[in-house]
Structure 1
């Protein structure tokens, strides 16, 4: 959409305010709102100033002036505000007009530019499957003398004897019993449908929605693939709508990977493919899973760099509460067709040449989508550049349930890092593939690692409630 079209849309929709947004290092959106009467063509040329020193991981106070440069291709009408508001995603620039090297959205753009400069293809397509929980009650605290959390859901397995309903109505979702049951077991059909309706009104092409495996309100809504940066924009829109519809229903939605113990966590399985001028590059009929050599090399890059990659695709301490065997978590660094116990799965049901893709199942939604998608693309492109053969490196294919392999067989399979610190160690040891084409800079990686180390330390030094059960009577 051109700037002129955006200005016409403001008049056509009687827009009162324009909300300019950018995304921080952690993947959270921030915004500054201007009255529509103050927005004109010059706004899209000169941008909107903000204080970068107040954003974690950005700039110090001595160089805090930064500029949001609006992207007219990203606009949509906010479905929640009382006053008609237009949302515009922005890239971040320094006051002297340089693209800010720590801006996640700019890094995503640079990854797309590198794809074309490398001569591999013209477009990289991404489609995330971002799972989430919808809770009725969320409480937590972490102080000097107290540490606790509490979540609740009317459909949770632990509420089969709850009396607060005025007589328990039953039909609770059992542990690991939540995959696509009908109502009344699935009590959240209407809230998900409302989310979908608003997503469609906001420009997302939604393909389906359903209850997910875990008890206590786990859900999934799938939207159509798009190019890298556009998909990251779409995921930000998706999460914004999920969070706010839940709030309208008096509930709270979270994309936290492991908010409850003893059941499946929430992942963000990411489907990827590369096209060249409309021609799919991952398809070769008759080959293993109909995958071309380009696709296998891309998989090789993903799996070879996976320990470092996971520091960006699974960047929270909570991520590693999900990445444990036994809960459909893809901890095994192998590839397979149709096998959900592998880190990389190749969908094979009803797949056409244009639909041929790979699915990286390890990521979760604590990831900044701009950084995560860019890093995945850079890993895959490195695999193509170096012609990494995943089979030759022992990454598969494994077409049986890996969790049922013998201990001896499992020794041959690499696993994901066990903690955020281990993943950050891997990233420090293996980051050059990210800096090709100056997509990520060494300075960015160092700053990113420092921010994430601080998060890991903040968790590690705090007393955990379970430690009282283990050690209080020592």
Structure 2
């Protein structure tokens, strides 16, 4: 959409407010609203000023002035505001007009430019499967003398004997029993359908939705793949609409990887491929899972750099509560066709040459999508450049249920880092592939590691409630 068309959209839809949005290092959106009467062509040239020092990880107070530059290709009408509002995603610049090298969306743009300059292909396509929970009640606190959390859902297995419902209606979802049941077990068909309706109005192409494996209201909605930056934009819209639709229904949605103990967590499996124009470059009939040599090298790059990648694709302490064996979590750094216990799965069911792709199953939705997708692309491109063969490197293929292997056999398989600190250590030791072509800068990596280490420390130094169960009577 051109600037002229954006201004036309404002007029035709009687828009009262234009909401300018950007993301921080963690991928959370921030916004400033201007009256529609104050928005014109110059707004798209000069941008909208904001205080960068108030955004964690952005700027110091002595250099706080920053500018949002609206992208006319990234707009949608807000379905939740009482006053008609048009939302516009923005890039970040310094006051002198320079691109800000800590802007996640700017990094995604540079990653796409690097792909083309490398002569590998014209576009990389991404499709995330971002799972979430829909709860009815969420409470938590973390104080000096108390620490707790509580979540509840009308679907939860622990509520089979709850009396507060005014007559328990049963049909609860069992632990690990939530994969695609029909009503009345699945109580969330309508809320997911409403989410999909609003997502389509916002411009996303919805492919399907369903209940997921875990008890207590786990869900998944799949939307159509697109180019790297556009898919990251779509994921921001997706999370915004999921969160706010749940709120309209008197519920709350979370993309937290492991909000409950003892059942599956929520991942963000990321499908990816490279095209040259209309030609898919990951397909070769007769190869393993019909993969081309380029695709195998791309996988080699993903798995070789995985410990460092995970600092960007699983960037929370809670991520590593999900990344444990036994709950479909892809902790094993191998590849395989159709095997969900491997970190990299090659989909083989109903796949056409243009649909041939690889799926990195380790990521979760605490990732900033602009950073995570860019980092995955850079790792894959490094694998292509260096011809990293995953078979020769010992990454498979392994076409068996890895969780059923003996301990000795499992011991031969490289695994993901066991904590956020370990992942950050790996990133500090292996970041040069990210800085190729200036996509990521060393300053960005250093700042990101410092930012995330402070999160890890804030968790590590706090007393955990389970420690009372283990140690209070010592």
- State TM-score, norm by structure 1: 1.00
Residue of structure 1 equivalent to 2:416: 416
Residue of structure 2 equivalent to 1:370: 370
SS of 2:366's equivalent in the other structure is coil
Distance in 1, Cα, partners of 2:411 & 2:165: 50
SS of 1:96's equivalent in the other structure is coil
Residue of structure 2 equivalent to 1:335: 335
Please report how far the alpha carbon of residue 410 of structure 1 lies from its aligned counterpart in structure 2 after TM superposition: 1.1
Q: 2:23 aligned with 1:23, yes or no?
A: yes
Q: 2:249 aligned with 1:268, yes or no?
A: no
Residue of structure 2 equivalent to 1:101: 101
Task: Structure 2: state its 5+ residue gaps.
Answer: none
Please report how far the alpha carbon of residue 19 of structure 1 lies from its aligned counterpart in structure 2 after TM superposition: 0.3
- State TM-score, norm by structure 2: 1.00
Residue of structure 2 equivalent to 1:114: 114
Residue of structure 1 equivalent to 2:345: 345
Distance in 1, Cα, partners of 2:452 & 2:4: 41
SS of 1:74's equivalent in the other structure is strand
SS of 2:352's equivalent in the other structure is coil
Please report how far the alpha carbon of residue 399 of structure 1 lies from its aligned counterpart in structure 2 after TM superposition: 0.5
Cα-to-partner distance string for 1:191-214 (whole Å, 9 max, x where unaligned):
000000000111110000000000
Residue of structure 2 equivalent to 1:148: 148
Distance in 2, Cα, partners of 1:467 & 1:405: 32
Residue of structure 2 equivalent to 1:83: 83
Q: How does 1:3-42 map to 2 (within 5 A)?
A: 3-42=3-42
Please report how far the alpha carbon of residue 57 of structure 1 lies from its aligned counterpart in structure 2 after TM superposition: 0.1
Residue of structure 2 equivalent to 1:191: 191
Please report how far the alpha carbon of residue 447 of structure 1 lies from its aligned counterpart in structure 2 after TM superposition: 0.2
Residue of structure 1 equivalent to 2:72: 72
Distance in 2, Cα, partners of 1:451 & 1:153: 34
Residue of structure 1 equivalent to 2:161: 161
Task: Structure 1: state its 5+ residue gaps.
Answer: none
Q: 2:139 aligned with 1:135, yes or no?
A: no
Cα-to-partner distance string for 1:221-261 (whole Å, 9 max, x where unaligned):
00000000000000000000000000000000000000000
Count residues in correspondence.
Answer: 474
Q: How does 1:358-397 map to 2 (within 5 A)?
A: 358-397=358-397
Please report how far the alpha carbon of residue 406 of structure 1 lies from its aligned counterpart in structure 2 after TM superposition: 1.2
Please report how far the alpha carbon of residue 433 of structure 1 lies from its aligned counterpart in structure 2 after TM superposition: 0.1
Residue of structure 2 equivalent to 1:399: 399
Cα-to-partner distance string for 1:51-81 (whole Å, 9 max, x where unaligned):
0000000000000000000000001100100
Residue of structure 1 equivalent to 2:46: 46
Cα-to-partner distance string for 1:335-365 (whole Å, 9 max, x where unaligned):
0000000000000001001000000000000
Distance in 2, Cα, partners of 1:53 & 1:278: 43
SS of 1:71's equivalent in the other structure is strand
Distance in 2, Cα, partners of 1:71 & 1:200: 20
Please report how far the alpha carbon of residue 454 of structure 1 lies from its aligned counterpart in structure 2 after TM superposition: 0.3
Q: How does 1:317-332 map to 2 (within 5 A)?
A: 317-332=317-332
